[in-house]
Amino acid sequence: MGHFRYYIKMLYWRYSAFRMRRFKRLFDSRPADAYSPKWHKLWNLYWRIKKYKPETVVEFGSGCSTIIIGQALYENRKGHLFAYDESEKWKKVTENSLPAHVKNFVTVFYAPKKETEYQGVQGFYFDGDVKHADFVYLDGPELLPDRLVAVDILLMQNRPTYIVVDSRKSNCNFLRQHLSGHAFSFNWLNNQSLFIKKEG
């Protein structure tokens, strides 16, 4: 079974890279020391933005995902991405890497992470004024062994309709305890979790 799952995952990764091949030039401005695109993860983000057509997207952490979300919003001809990065260096790198045609759809902020405690759990949040989003992509900040959760989503005035979490198993388990109004699913092909607000 393990070999079968590995084979299916490799097929999915190749399929994702094939579907994303027309976007490879979007990342030409990324510096050599930056993370390279992970096509299976970017494909998941791209088609979800295309499908859900959110008006307001918030991204915690920035990078290749910022570019592909901006591209999807550009194609939708609606919506805006607000990306928050704890590193001033990588905030600038992301801004400078944005293709010209997506810049009107993306704003990148430098927002240092702050320590906090949420119902007895040690965690982090971004020092930014994030109150609302239709769609959230959680891929930051960098966590520590004694602080394995980011609580930004729980501090928002209105909970997002859609939340995609990249890896971060402990953070997902934490959110599942506090987002009872959301349905949860995990995609082992790209190691990303999805929360969708339940109707009613």
What average pLDDT score do residues 81-107 get? 98
Q: Give the whole-number percent of the chain exceeding pLDDT 70.
A: 99
State CA 88 to chain mean position distance: 18
What pLDDT sits at residue 121? 96
pLDDT in tens, 46-80: 999 999 999 999 999 999 999 999 999 999 999 99
| CB atoms closer than 10 angstroms to residue 6 | 10
Q: Provide the whole-model pTM.
A: 0.95
User: Top-level CATH class of 2-20+38-197?
Assistant: alpha beta
State CA 69 to chain mean position distance: 9
Q: Would you kindly state where each structural domain of the chain is located, as residue ranges?
A: 2-20+38-197
Q: Dig out the tokens for 111 from the structure.
A: 């927002």
